[in-house]
Structure 1
Amino acid sequence: METRSYNALIQTLLDCALACEHCASSCLKEEDVNMMANCIKMDRDCADICLQAARLLQRDSVIAHQYLLLCEEICRLCAEECSKHDHEHCRQCAAACEDCAEACYQNHEPIDQD
């Protein structure tokens, strides 16, 4: 079986994770941090899941493409949450999450439980 290169997808996942980390850190500096709590939580979850997806792809894990289903979902949820806020870091994060969700959608496989 030929191993495909997923460098572009991995880079998209890493870019999304970094955008989420930046957004979460920036949210902590906003005047009303309590208002940003859900955004921060979602950013952190999204960053963790994107980083794990990148690791799984890099090591050619048998579940990597199934895991992208979860990654797509968290990216869409994070983009939705960030879109509720009018901060530049939230706009950038939402855009990165939308790009990542689409990339995951293009590459995921259904979960097969035999």
Structure 2
Amino acid sequence: MTQSTATLTDNQTVLDALNACVAACENCATACLHEEHVKHMVGCVLLDRDCADICALTARFVARNSPHAKHIMRECIELCQLCHNECAKHNDTHCQLCAAACKACLEACKAHLESN
């Protein structure tokens, strides 16, 4: 396996986690806005949106092998943790799925940072 192939393979794992997190956060935010108790979900929606945005930005930096990807990824890990913590508090299925995606994403990002 060549160096460029190994890098592509390593990047694909974290890119998949980042993109899955974007989708889960966007879905969660939309579903929260339709909840009967929507005012109770404001914190969740705000974190979902921030998390989706940082994950999308991180994916773009990783995909182009930017030397700044590590800085962005550290912020991504922080926001994924916050979003995970918030969503895990709620019993709604969409929140639980989002919490799981955020946890998987932050773990993939940590592993990616450790390997690079």
TM over 0.5: yes
Distance in 1 between residues matched to 2:113 and 2:86, nearest whole Å = 23
Distance in 1 between residues matched to 2:55 and 2:69, nearest whole Å = 11
Distance in 2 between residues matched to 1:38 and 1:91, nearest whole Å = 15
Distance in 2 between residues matched to 1:67 and 1:105, nearest whole Å = 12
Q: 2:20 is aligned with what amino acid?
A: D
Kept after mapping to 2: 8 A contact 1:79/1:97: yes
**Structure with the larger helix share:** 2
- The equivalent of 1:27 in structure 2 is 32
1:46-61 equivalences under 5 Å are 46-61=51-66
Ranges in structure 1 where 5+ consecutive residues have no aligned partner: 110-114
1:66: Cα distance to partner? 2.6
The answer as to 2:102 corresponding to 1:97 is yes
Report how many residues are paired: 108
- For residue 86 of structure 2, give the secondary structure of its aligned residue in structure 1: helix
Distance in 1 between residues matched to 2:67 and 2:54, nearest whole Å = 17
Distance in 2 between residues matched to 1:68 and 1:61, nearest whole Å = 11
- The equivalent of 2:12 in structure 1 is 7
Kept after mapping to 1: 8 A contact 2:13/2:108: no
Distance in 1 between residues matched to 2:89 and 2:15, nearest whole Å = 27
Distance in 1 between residues matched to 2:54 and 2:113, nearest whole Å = 14
- For residue 57 of structure 1, give the secondary structure of its aligned residue in structure 2: helix
The TM-score with structure 2 as length reference comes to 0.89
1:10: Cα distance to partner? 0.4
Compare 30-39 and 100-109 and name the one that shifted more: 100-109
Ranges in structure 2 where 5+ consecutive residues have no aligned partner: none
The TM-score with structure 1 as length reference comes to 0.91
Distance in 1 between residues matched to 2:41 and 2:106, nearest whole Å = 22
Distance in 1 between residues matched to 2:86 and 2:48, nearest whole Å = 9
Q: 1:67 is aligned with what amino acid?
A: I
Q: Could you list the runs of 4 or more consecutive aligned residues of structure 1 that deviate by over 2 angstroms after TM superposition?
A: none
